[in-house]
Amino acid sequence: MDFFKERSDPGPDSWEKLKRDCAGCGRCGLGQTRHNLVFGVGNERADVMFIGEGPGEQEDLKGEPFVGPAGQLLDTMLELIDLDRTKVYIANIVKCRPPRNRDPLPDEQASCIGWLERQIALVDPKILVFLGRIAAMAFIKPDFRITREHGQWFDVDGRRAMAMYHPSALLRDPGKRPETFVDLKTLQREIKELYD
Ligand code: URA
């Protein structure tokens, strides 16, 4: 019995192992149409982790999350509360670009989310910030309403979690920016409390 237990135990996870496993992923069809896998970027021991939906065109070409116009806005949002990419970790629900930037399908999300769960376990952040409805629905609750529930705190597996509008939504509708500024300040206060 112990013999089988020993053989089936995958052992402790590591970034090296996770990156290698993820690079060889063929769990859904998105891997066939993308240029690059977009794994994640930032501080692998960050207290705050930002989670988006999935790579767009620029991210697909570069292999890095949030490097297109939405990414530039995300960088500005981070700067507003004294954060930058060296202080946080950034990843997406799906690691490969959905064609024509469509929403990732439920089965594509289900196939991919295990990679993100392993990233979260390795980073072990105190705070999770979901960017947009799709990411919030995947982790906070399936009926999450971004218009009503952005900026509120939830518990996700013992971590503080909140969602804010996706930077792409803020590019499409700048009228949502003042609410997002309030959410960023809420996040900043929470981060400050971690160190007090
Ligand atoms: N939108 C996302 O959700 N993620 C990215 O990496 C880029 C745009």
3-state secondary structure of 17: helix
Q: How do residues 8-23 score in pLDDT, each as one tens digit? A: 667 889 999 999 999 9
pLDDT at 77 over 90: yes
Structure confidence at residue 3 as a pLDDT band (50, 70, 90): low
Residue 4's pLDDT is what? 52
Query: Considering the domain boundaries, does residue 92 fall inside one?
Result: yes
Q: How do residues 164-179 score in pLDDT, each as one tens digit? A: 999 999 999 999 999 9
Domain hosting 112: range is 15-191
Query: Considering the domain boundaries, does residue 6 fall inside one?
Result: no
Residue 196's pLDDT is what? 87
Residue 8's pLDDT is what? 60
Q: What is the CATH number of the domain that holds 117?
A: 3.40.470.10
pLDDT at 6 over 60: no
Query: Considering the domain boundaries, does residue 28 fall inside one?
Result: yes
- Going through the chain in order, the beta strands assigned E by DSSP cover 41-42, 48-52, 88-92, 127-131, 154-156, 159-164
Query: Considering the domain boundaries, does residue 34 fall inside one?
Result: yes
Query: Considering the domain boundaries, does residue 91 fall inside one?
Result: yes
| Residue tagged 């697909």 (tokens) | 60
Counting the structural domains of the chain, the total is 1
Phi and psi angles of residue 148, each rounded to the nearest 5 degrees, phi first: -95, -30
Q: Is the CB of 66 under 6 A from ligand 1?
A: yes
Measured in Å, residue 196 CA sits from the centre of ligand 1 at: 32
pLDDT at 2 over 80: no
Residue 1's pLDDT is what? 47
Query: Considering the domain boundaries, does residue 111 fall inside one?
Result: yes
Query: Considering the domain boundaries, does residue 3 fall inside one?
Result: no
Both tokens of 67, joined, read: 């490097």
Query: Considering the domain boundaries, does residue 101 fall inside one?
Result: yes
Q: Exposed, middle or buried by CB within 10 Å (0-12, 13-18, 19+), for 83?
A: buried
Measured in Å, residue 140 CA sits from the centre of ligand 1 at: 19
- Mutating to test ligand 1, I would choose from 38, 58, 59, 64 the residue with most ligand atoms within 8 A of its C-beta, which is 59
Tell me the whole-structure pTM to 2 decimals: 0.94
